[in-house]
Each structure stands twice: as structure tokens, then as C-alpha cells.
């Protein structure tokens, strides 16, 4: 249901193309041909191309093969071996038709070849086709990491993101906080109101959590069933507990009727918070387990509340 709404709401994006050639005249020809339809960036050598890819993240690189110092094949190999640039589509531009070179280019990960002198119709068509394929691939990749019911990230996205945040916080010596959340007595809610209303409740709660945890580098994910989990990089125990309390209060403020709850007349949520400054003798799995333990304590002590701990200092924040 949510996926259909997501697809229909996605606006077309103007593609970004990086032109790489040591000859200015070749760049000018391609620039004039493509500038009306795409955002164009330029590089004059291999290293500059690699740097530009990391800076602007183009959809396509039109890459000359014959360049001094670092040729197009070397640039392609470097881009495809870097996780940050491996998904960029590369179209080689060559002054000669050479079957062996084309085979090598495709083996390195290129998606197409364009031959000089540039044919405007062929070039624009091949670029347009690759932009469409790249856009579709990006959309499918995004959908694969979304929870279809609620629209927040799914558990797979969480499991991809947490190790990256862990490494970044370890490098910078910054705290990392996990919040685990569980809707109180949600089974009773489903039993009383039906699964359709249960799904609606999950969507509303997920959106409210997403609205509350709103920094661009934070992540809200559906962890499973009625459980949600949040990653808050650069957030200490006090900050994490504050955000968790905001979530708990905001869910209650929705005033979603829950007659069979043993806590309130409305839907509530319990939260467990764990914070650590990553170090060599710990792992991100330890952080998740600690947050889960705090969530258990939160439910054991009456629900609709926040219990948290700072693993680094072995102190408890409530």
C-alpha cells in the first residue's frame, strides 16, 4: 500500500552527468549536446574525475579511454572498486572501434560505448536510456530498504546503516545511541479492533516517530511487528533519553483509542535507550542488546516510559 503511494509521489529528477576528456573540444561538444537536459560536470584527467565523482555523485560518467597518466580503464576500475562510486553508470567514449577494448570495458563494469566522432542522435539516446535505467535501479534499491506498510526504513536498512554509524562514531570518538520502541499491548489492540485498524495504527505511530526523530543523519526503522528502532549518531545518553521521552509523549498525544490497554485508554509506547562511545572492546551488537534489555525493563516497570543506560560509563539514565 505505502509503496504505491511512494512511487506515485516520486518526482522526476534532472540527471547529473560527468564528462571526462583531456581534450577540451570533446568536452565542449558533449556539453553543448546534453546541457539542456542534464546537469553537466567536467573533468580533464582521471584523478580529477574520481574526485568529482565523490563530490557530486553523478548518475553517468562519459569517460574517454585514451588519457595521459590515468586512462579511462584505470578510472573505471577505481570507481567500481569503491563502495561510494560503484553504482555510477559509466559509458566509455572512444575514437576507435576496438572489440577487445569494448570487452575489457564491459568486464570492468561499463554499461555502454559511444564512438567518436559523436553522433548526436545515438549519443542522446544512449545517455537517456542509461539515465532511465539508473533512475529505475535507484528507485528499486530505495524501495527494497523501506518497510512496505509504514514507509519508514526496514530492518535490512537498519542492519546496513548501524555498522557505518558505528565506524564513524568510533573514528570521531563520538557517542552513538540506539532507541528500541515497542507499542504497548498491541496484540490486544489487533484482537479488539482488527488487523486493518492495527495496520493503520502502525502507520500513524511510525510517522509520528519519524517526525520526532528528524535529523537528516538519524534513522528510524521498523524492527519487526510492533517494534521500531532508532539510530542516533553523535548523541549522548542524556540526548538519547530526551528524544525517547519525546517519542513516548508524542505517541500518547495522538490519542488513538485502545480500550484493552492495561496502561492507558490510548495507544502508548515503551522505550529502551542505550548509548556508547564505540571502542575496540565493544561491538554494535552489544549496543542493540543493551537497548533491548532497557526496553524489557521499561515494560517490566509499567510501560509507557523510558529506561536508558550509558554502556561507556555503566551509568543509568531514566
Using CA atoms, how far apart are residues 308 and 301, in angstroms rounded to an integer?
13
- In 122-239, the DSSP E strands lie at 176-183, 219-224, 227-233
Using CA atoms, how far apart are residues 277 and 284, in angstroms rounded to an integer?
10
**Of these residues, 5, 66, 99, 226, which one is catalytic?**
226
Instruction: Look up 102 and say whether it is catalytic.
Output: no
Per the listing, cell 525517547 goes with 244
For residue 200, the surrounding DSSP H or E stretch is: helix 195-212
Give residues with Cβ within 8 angstroms of 275, minimum separation 6: 175, 176, 177, 178, 235, 236, 237, 240, 308, 309, 310, 311, 312
Please count the other Cβ atoms lying within 10 Å of the Cβ belonging to residue 230: 29
Using CA atoms, how far apart are residues 205 and 136, in angstroms rounded to an integer?
30
Catalytic residues, by residue number, are 226
Amino acid at each position: 500500500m505505502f509503496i504505491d503511494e511512494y512511487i506515485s509521489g516520486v518526482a522526476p529528477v534532472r540527471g547529473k552527468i560527468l564528462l571526462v576528456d583531456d581534450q577540451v573540444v570533446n568536452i565542449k561538444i558533449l556539453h553543448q549536446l546534453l546541457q539542456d537536459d542534464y546537469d553537466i560536470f567536467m573533468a580533464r584527467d582521471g584523478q580529477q574525475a574520481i574526485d568529482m565523482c565523490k563530490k557530486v555523485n553523478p548518475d553517468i560518467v562519459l569517460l574517454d579511454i585514451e588519457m595521459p597518466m590515468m586512462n579511462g580503464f584505470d578510472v573505471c576500475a577505481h570507481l567500481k572498486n569503491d563502495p561510494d562510486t560503484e553504482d555510477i553508470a559509466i559509458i566509455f567514449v572512444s575514437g576507435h572501434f576496438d572489440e577487445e577494448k569494448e570487452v575489457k570495458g564491459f568486464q570492468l563494469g561499463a554499461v555502454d560505448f559511444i564512438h567518436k566522432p559523436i553522433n548526436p542522435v545515438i549519443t542522446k539516446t544512449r545517455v537517456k536510456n542509461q539515465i532511465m535505467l539508473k533512475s529505475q535501479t535507484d528507485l528499486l534499491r530505495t524501495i527494497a530498504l523501506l518497510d512496505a506498510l509504514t514507509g519508514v526504513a526496514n530492518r535490512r536498512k537498519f542492519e546496513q546503516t548501524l555498522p557505518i554509524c558505528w565506524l564513524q562514531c568510533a573514528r570521531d570518538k563520538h557517542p552513538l545511541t540506539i532507541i528500541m520502541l515497542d507499542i504497548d499491548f498491541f496484540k490486544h489492540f489487533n484482537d479488539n479492533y482488527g488487523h486493518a485498524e492495527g495496520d493503520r495504527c502502525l502507520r500513524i505511530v511510525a510517522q509520528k516517530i519519524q517526525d520526532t526523530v528528524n535529523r537528516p543523519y538519524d534513522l528510524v526503522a521498523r524492527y519487526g511487528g510492533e517494534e521500531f528502532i532508532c539510530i542516533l549518531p553523535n548523541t549522548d545518553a542524556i540526548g538519547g533519553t530526551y528524544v525517547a521521552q519525546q517519542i513516548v509523549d508524542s505517541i500518547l498525544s495522538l490519542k488513538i483509542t485502545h480500550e484493552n490497554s492495561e496502561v492507558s485508554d490510548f495507544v502508548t509506547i515503551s522505550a529502551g535507550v542505550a548509548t556508547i562511545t564505540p571502542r575496540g572492546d565493544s561491538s554494535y551488537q552489544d549496543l542493540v542488546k543493551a537497548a533491548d534489555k532497557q526496553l524489557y525493563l521499561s515494560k517490566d516497570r509499567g510501560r509507557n516510559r523510558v529506561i536508558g543506560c550509558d554502556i561507556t560509563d555503566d551509568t543509568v539514565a531514566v
